[in-house]
Structure 1
Amino acid sequence: MFWALKNNYTYNDAFLEFKKPQRVVTKEEALSLEQVEELFKFECKSKSLEQVKDIFVFQCLTGLRYGELKKINKRVVKENCIILKEEKDSSKEEREIPLFEISNYILKKYDFKLPLLSNQKQNEYIKDVLKNAEFDYEVEYTRVKGVEQTTVVKPFYKRVSTHTARRTFVTIMRNKGIADKTIMSITGHKDQKTFNMYHKVDNNARLDAVMNVFGKMELPKLKVI
């Protein structure tokens, strides 16, 4: 529209008064470290659902995007790290994603070739896994249509996708006090504003923060009357 106005293809400049609606960030979900551990130990009803669960947990423990999982093989795993190179931009530095006992276990279980489904199917089946594991407590979030904002309540498992795993990684690491720069070097985030959207502060994190700061304070001795 700007180009058309500048080159005299239109004289209607009413669009200049258009103001982009303010972006509303809805509440996104993340699992706690205890929930990730609980999910890892959960026994699924079928082999296919077990694979879906393992891949989701692996994402929670590495912070990898779902699309990046297809790059994993024995050649890119060195000294307990996944070495990822940016295919589209060779000038970018390699990312090193540390592995530990459980993430290594999952990789070895599938001989370093994760049994990936399409992103759409993974999103569909991970909801089934979490439902079976009784992650069915209610959560609420906002939905915006035009200028109208409404609050919606749904079971937790219905709010989970492959992106939830990546958000879970960031949230757990931040809640444990790991520096943003360190986390971003693992996840590949370059923009702090975008990175901040991945962090969900939960009640346990709030409680820990308050206890760490004020927990050692003692009540004064009561005066005897």
Structure 2
Amino acid sequence: MSNSFSVRFILKKYKAKNGKAPIYIRLTHNGKHCDSSLKRKIPVEKWNTNQRVSGTSIEVRKLNRYLDQIYNKAFEIFENLQLKDEFISAEIIRNKLFNLEEEQQITLLSASKYHYDQNINNFSTGTLKHYKVTERYFERFLSAKKNLSDIAIEKVDYKFLLDFEAFLRAWKPKDHQKPIGHNGIMKHMCRFRKVLNYAYKMDWIADTPFKKYHISYEKSTRTYLTEEELSAIEVKELDIARLEQIRDIFIFSCYTGLSYIDLFNLSKDHIVIGINGEKWIQYKRQKTSTPFSVPLLPKALELIEKYEDHPKAQENQLLPVVSNQKTNAYLKEIADICGIKKQLTFHIARHTFATTVTLTNGVPMETVSKMLGHTKLSTTQIYAKVVENKIGTDMAALQEKLSNSEQMRKAD
């Protein structure tokens, strides 16, 4: 990595008053500079091309000696920082040169917290929560592997990234959670990269080690309910009220494709009369702010009507949605009761809408993409591949069935 440093004196003529302009020092490190006033003014015509003052008077010689001293002292500070292998920036040299109070050292955790605070109004609640989880892993890693409570941000190098990734892969949760999968680890690394990129933009680090690090995701299959599984959950008589309510919320998402957070925020105001004269949902995804419109199918309309007198509906929430954690816990109970072997989570409802409810029934991919609020058609194409795989499996089963029938006919 280059470690260039230069010092220039500049006469800022545009600030001249009564024919005199102020002298500034410009410190430049690795292409990034900062200017500071020397609190000296001279007649504009006295400044020469050697960045000094022309003349032989005592005042001129005294000022030029001062400029020489400042010049030499700046390089001395730079060389001392190099010898001590300390982080260098034009601002740090400036602060030491003029004995200014230096800002508190930027650390990994302080940079992470600052990035979080700056984006409180930009990120969704869910995204902010994910950044906090990543930050807790920073703390665990530093404590367990480095025996540190924090680390200077400039000390985070490529090896640190590899060690952190290895720590995440080996992490064994003590609670009910599962170990972190590959894609989960990559999401933590992606958030880590964004924190360091932010630090780079703030001039807290000279470069980011993520230039050498490759983030890669494994292709994952979309779990969804088949028509038979969806029907089994729909028709099952549930004696426990809380399970019935969660089942209904889940089924509503199966027929609308809404994610948990979008359904949680859905209100009566988002139900409109569409172009066909029927009721539609018109809203925008919290995750991407992409607008989407979904015509309400009869099953969805039936569920809205069922809960229109519910206390939460009176508060303008369309359906009585509880926390995501409780919802997924109750869905596990529902899966057991209905004999569903798949790990039932709320997001499966969205996948089911894309596959079993729409694409399998001939709804064009472009239409499904718009109803799901996808920003790219390629995201929806993942579901199309799932449908193709299902068709292939179904046809293979049909072929086997026909083959067996043919063999039985010949045997007769």
What TM-score do the two structures reach when normalised by structure 2?
A: 0.40
Which residue is equivalent to 2:49? Answer: none
- Shift in Å, 1:134: 1.0
Q: Find the structure with the greater CA-based Rg.
A: 2
- Shift in Å, 1:76: 1.6
Q: Which amino acid aligns with 2:366?
A: K
Q: Which amino acid aligns with 2:295?
A: P
CA distance in 2: counterparts of 1:204 and 1:8, whole angstroms? 52
Secondary structure at the residue paired with 1:82? strand
- Shift in Å, 1:77: 4.2
What TM-score do the two structures reach when normalised by structure 1?
A: 0.68
Which residue is equivalent to 1:185? Answer: 370
Query: Do the aligned residues in 2 keep the contact of 1:64 with 1:166 (CA within 8 Å)?
Result: yes
CA distance in 1: counterparts of 2:388 and 2:239, whole angstroms? 30
Aligned pair count reads 187
Which residue is equivalent to 2:333? Answer: 128
Query: Do the aligned residues in 2 keep the contact of 1:72 with 1:82 (CA within 8 Å)?
Result: no
Task: Point out where structure 1 has 5 or more consecutive residues left out of the alignment.
Answer: 137-155, 213-218, 220-225
Pairing 1:1-225 to 2, within 5 Å after superposition: 4=200, 9-10=205-206, 16-20=211-215, 22-69=216-263, 70-73=265-268, 76-78=271-273, 79-86=277-284, 95-111=292-308, 113-136=318-341, 156=342, 159-172=343-356, 173-198=358-383, 200-201=386-387, 204-207=390-393
> CA-to-partner distance for each residue in 1:131-166, whole Å, 9 max, x for gaps?
111113xxxxxxxxxxxxxxxxxxx1xx22111100
Q: Which amino acid aligns with 1:83?
A: I
- Shift in Å, 1:195: 2.4
CA distance in 1: counterparts of 2:223 and 2:205, whole angstroms? 47
Change (3 A) 1:205 1:131: same
CA distance in 1: counterparts of 2:297 and 2:306, whole angstroms? 14
* Greater relative contact order (CA < 8 Å, ≥ 6 in sequence): 1
Change (3 A) 1:185 1:124: same
Among all aligned residue pairs of Structure 1 and Structure 2, give the percentage whose two residues are the same amino acid: 26
Task: Point out where structure 2 has 5 or more consecutive residues left out of the alignment.
Answer: 1-195, 399-405, 407-412
Change (3 A) 1:46 1:14: closer
Query: Do the aligned residues in 2 keep the contact of 1:82 with 1:98 (CA within 8 Å)?
Result: yes
Query: Do the aligned residues in 2 keep the contact of 1:58 with 1:103 (CA within 8 Å)?
Result: yes
- Could you tell which deviates more after superposition, 198-207 or 188-197? 198-207
- Shift in Å, 1:105: 1.0
Q: Which amino acid aligns with 2:325?
A: Q
- Could you tell which deviates more after superposition, 78-87 or 118-127? 78-87
Secondary structure at the residue paired with 1:178? coil
CA distance in 2: counterparts of 1:68 and 1:132, whole angstroms? 27
